[in-house]
C-alpha cells in the first residue's frame, strides 16, 4: 500500500481562488496566466491500518482496497 504526495509551486498575479479544481490550475499553467515553477513527489509505504485510516480521512472506505481489519 502506497501514499504518494505530489506538490508543485504556482506563480500568479492574484490569489488562486479557493476551491479551484486542480485540472483548471494546470490548464492555467499551460495556457493561461499562471506559471508552474517546480514539482516533486514523495511516496511512502502504509500498512493496512494506516491505509484504512487514510481512506477514512479522505471520505472513502477501507473496502475500496479490500482492507478488512
Residue 23: phi and psi, rounded to 5, are -60, -40
Q: To which residue does cell 475500496 refer? A: 64
2-57, pLDDT tens digit by residue? 999 999 999 999 999 999 999 999 999 999 899 999 889 999 999 999 999 999 99
What pLDDT sits at residue 69? 78
Amino acid at each position: 500500500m502506497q501514499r504518494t504526495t505530489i506538490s508543485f509551486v504556482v506563480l500568479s498575479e492574484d490569489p488562486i481562488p479557493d476551491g479551484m479544481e486542480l485540472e483548471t490550475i494546470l490548464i492555467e499553467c499551460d495556457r493561461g496566466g499562471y506559471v508552474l515553477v517546480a514539482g516533486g513527489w514523495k511516496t511512502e509505504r502504509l500498512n493496512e491500518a494506516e491505509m484504512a485510516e487514510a481512506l477514512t480521512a479522505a471520505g472513502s472506505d477501507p473496502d475500496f482496497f479490500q482492507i478488512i481489519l
